[in-house]
Amino acid sequence: MDKEPVTIVDIRASDVYQQAHIPGAFLLGDENIDAFLQAADKTKPLICYCYHGFSSQGACEFLKQSGFGRVFSIEGGFEFWRNVYPTECNK
């Protein structure tokens, strides 16, 4: 993230996203996945996260199959990230 621009997607529920999320993260769900797939820059690295890092692994596979070249899941998910960077959560 420090070396080049990335796309960050949050696949948690919208109410949880509204409570706190990684700055710049895009809420991605069933209602906007098609628009996201059409508009996103698939050459940029994509970082995907969920609550604890399990569901985002499946989402990463889907996004890879949808044409994204470099897709990553945050190990431990948002909860891990929040513990490491507690002052950087958007609330």
Which amino acid does the sequence have at 50? C
Q: What is the pLDDT of residues 30-80, one digit of tens each?
A: 999 999 999 999 999 999 999 998 999 999 999 999 999 999 999 999 999
The reply to whether CATH 3.40.250.10 applies to domain 7-88 is yes
| DSSP 8-state symbol, 4 | S
What pTM does this model have? 0.90
Is 60 an annotated catalytic residue? Answer: no
- CA atoms of 24 and 61, how far apart (whole Å): 22
Per-domain residue ranges of the chain: 7-88
36 in Cβ contact with 28 (< 8 Å):
yes
Buried b (16+ CB within 10 A) or exposed e, 79-88: eebeeeeeee
Q: What is the mean pLDDT of residues 13-34?
A: 95
Q: Which one of the listed residues 48, 50, 60, 89 is annotated catalytic?
A: 50
Residue 88 is encoded by which pair of tokens? 């950087």
